[in-house]
Amino acid sequence: MVRSIIALACLLLIGCESAKDAPPPPPNRWADERLGPVLDAQEHRDTDALCALLEDTSATVREAAALAFASVQDKLGLPCLLGSLSDPDPSVRRQVVFALGLVADSAAVQQLAEASLIERDTLVQRAFVSASLVAVLRNGMLKDMPTAVHYLERSSGQDRVRAADALRRLPQPVVNADSALLFRALEQEKAPEVRAYLLRALVKARGATAERMLRNAARPGVVAMERIAALQSLGHTPQGLPNDALLAWSKDADPAFRAAVHGVLAERTPTSSQEALRWLEVLAGQALPPAVLAGDRKAVKAMVDSLCKVRYADPYQEALRIRGLGSLEEALSDTELEAILYSERPAVERQAAFGVLAQRTAMHMRMPRAISFDMQLREAAPFWHRVFACNDAGLICAAAEQLAFSPADQLAVLFPAEVQQKAAASLHPIRDLEAVQLIEGLAAKRDGRTIPTPMHSVPSFNHPIDPTKLRALKQGQRYRITTDKGTIILSTDVNDCPGSSLVFDSLVTAGYYNGKAFHRMVPNFVVQGGCPRGDGYGGMPWTLRTEIGRTPFSAGSVGLASAGRDTESCQFFITHVATPHLDGRYTRFGEVVEGMDVVWRLQVGDVMQKVERVD
């Protein structure tokens, strides 16, 4: 008996020693040195190397190689991916199926369907269902309402949101012809995120039923994402909402709903000076005296004069003031706006001045006058030439976006070859990649050349990952974003997005994001910040590879903004709701773990006072 007790004590001591001496778990999966070649092949977009790694003896390596194809998305890898559908390890097959959903062509979609019939693993079967839907959508094979509703009724999770999003993207005649299916789906649907997409689809239905459902969903007390979706649809339907109704809704208690109202208003034109002043009250937060609201001319003039003399310290509020006053004929002159446009003022203020001047230039051209259209074009040309020659990448982007729908003969006058050359000479090939691509697209259209779709050239690999730093960064590393609206805690997905997570960590620890603003907020979509310019057109002199993991863009996902594949850098966004159209296209490198209520309260101009690691 004594010997047994001693033996047991020895075993316990040995067990304790073993536990004490056991190495800690690795911070992330990249600590496994076997995965080094996989990451290198993914970063260099080396399809041949990844195909070879799919034949590795280690299931861990094969699984990582399969997932890497989701980031590379090279159709030349289809044969080896399809061959790996017979891999003996179900975890590998799951990743293979996921990657195939993102790269499959119409023929491979059929092969996916055939392979799914002989799959016996439950998790892999589910992967087939999801991947098939993704592949069908990416190949433009979903073209009718019954099929969309079929996927909606028989899918689960993100795939249901994906099906609802696909339904709202169908052409208007298709939706309107089968609108009864949409009405029925809305009446039966309980999930707010799915309902929000279906409400967006109602903009393509015609008749009293659609309007009634939208107005019912927009009333106070309904879930915010549904109210906003209904408002956005009402604002773009033929029956729609008059300006007066929108102005009344601008006083709603929900800040996100108010922002959605402002977004609809910003797309419209005031019908009178008095209405323009009311818009200014809404957009710039400037309260109007009763006499102004009553239309008293002296009071209106005094109000405009006082607003013209004000300059807000907050550049985002000042930009709203510029836009609001720009809609008033008796307010800011072209000369005053040009002084702002070509000044050293913050980028968002210069963008506001440009927007007003561009709108005035376009309206002036549309006015009936006793001169030919060619003469009107030549009158407008100097404005566009000066903007393209201003050496400001953001303004060049904005000008190119404004002219994107102009026909070739007009571009020959507004954007001639010599103007293109001057603009191109001022741009950095990587930092200003978006501007470079936009003016290349304009030039192609002007010259009658084929414009690639999308107009995007993938930059060469230029930002290697430090393997030592990567192996030290823990999966789920947390960061705190402090704002006036509250605190947000997010964590990063180092396992699936190593390069993006490591760069974000480096920028945070360097203090880069401290003081940066959220320059974009689209209700029911995203809030975005981190731009070095503050207007969304800024970036770094390097780019990251797009990294695609298995986790979809749900509410609170943190992603990297880009100007196309493999162009990510410092700007990041946080989603308000599930956004399935971003899946497989944008890097989702983290998620909000605390503070989604703060995310919903954030508005354009809110500042990240401090962004720091949470140890």
Domain regions of the chain by residue span? 32-138, 467-614
Judge whether 549 and 556 are in contact, CB under 8 Å.
Answer: no
Q: C-alpha angle 308/309/315, rounded to 5°?
A: 80
Element holding 202 (H helix, E strand): none
Q: Please name which of 418, 409, 414, 421 lies closest in space to residue 445, comparing C-alpha atoms.
A: 409
Q: Give CA 520 to chain center in angstroms.
A: 10
Are the CB atoms for 353 and 335 separated by under 8 Å? no
| 467-614 fold | Cyclophilin (2.40.100)
Distance of CA 473 to the CA centre of its chain: 26
Residue carrying the six token digits 């180092």? 494
What is the mean predicted confidence (pLDDT) over 450-461? Answer: 76
Give 561-585 pLDDT, tens digit per residue: 999 999 999 999 999 999 999 999 9
Q: Band of the pLDDT at 20, cuts 50, 70, 90?
A: low
Instruction: Tell me the per-residue pLDDT of 179-218, one tens digit each, with 9 for 90 and over.
Output: 999 999 999 999 999 999 999 999 999 889 999 999 999 9
What is the reported pLDDT for 21? Answer: 66
Residue 458 CB-density burial (10 A; 0-12 exposed, 13-18 middle, 19+ buried): middle
At 317, which helix (H) or strand (E)? helix 315-326
Tokens encoding 454: 């999308």
Of the candidates 71, 59, 66, which has an alpha carbon nearest to the alpha carbon of residue 82? Answer: 66
Q: Quick one: which H or E segment has residue 154?
A: helix 145-154
Closest CA to 77 of 44, 99, 109: 99
Residue 8: the pLDDT is 40
pLDDT at residue 12 in the model:
38
Q: For position 274, what pLDDT does the model report?
A: 64
Sequence-ordered list of residues with C-beta below 8 angstroms from that of 297, at least 6 positions apart, any chain: none
The band of 263, judged by pLDDT with boundaries at 50, 70 and 90, is: confident
Q: Which helix (H) or strand (E) holds 478?
A: strand 478-483
- At residue 454, φ and ψ (nearest 5 deg) are -80, 160
Asked if the domains at 32-138 and 467-614 fall in one CATH topology, the answer is no
The answer to whether residue 75 scores a pLDDT higher than 50 is yes
pLDDT at res. 452: 66
Average pLDDT of span 38-65 = 98
| Whole-number Å distance between alpha carbons of 214 and 203 | 9
pLDDT of residue 23 exceeding 90: no
**pLDDT above 60 for 13:** no
Looking at the predicted structure, is the pLDDT value of residue 3 above 60? no
3-state SS of 506-554 is HHHHCCCCCCCEEEEEECCCEEEECCCCCCCCCCCCCCECCCCCCCCCC
Q: What is 32-138's CATH topology?
A: Leucine-rich Repeat Variant (1.25.10)
- CA pair distance 50, 553, nearest whole angstrom: 26
- 3 state SS of 544: strand
Q: Which residues of 517-543 are buried (b: 16+ CB within 10 A; e: fewer)?
A: bbbbbbbbebbbbbbbbbbbbbbbeeb
pLDDT at site 24: 81
Please tell me which residue, 302 or 510, carries the higher pLDDT value.
510
| Residues 348-376, mean pLDDT to the nearest whole number | 87
When pLDDT is cut at 50, 70 and 90, the band that residue 154 belongs to is very high
Strands (E), 320-447: none
| Whether residue 411 has pLDDT greater than 70 | yes
What pLDDT is stored for residue 2 in this prediction?
46
Nearest to 557 by CA among 537, 520, 587: 587
> Is the pLDDT at 329 greater than 90, yes or no?
no
What's the average model confidence in pLDDT over 18-32?
81
Other CB atoms within 10 A of residue 615 CB: 5
> 466 forms bridges with which residues in the sheet?
none
pLDDT for position 281 = 67
Paired tokens of 436:
């470079």
Q: Tell me: cis bond preceding 454? Omega within 30 of 0 counts.
A: yes
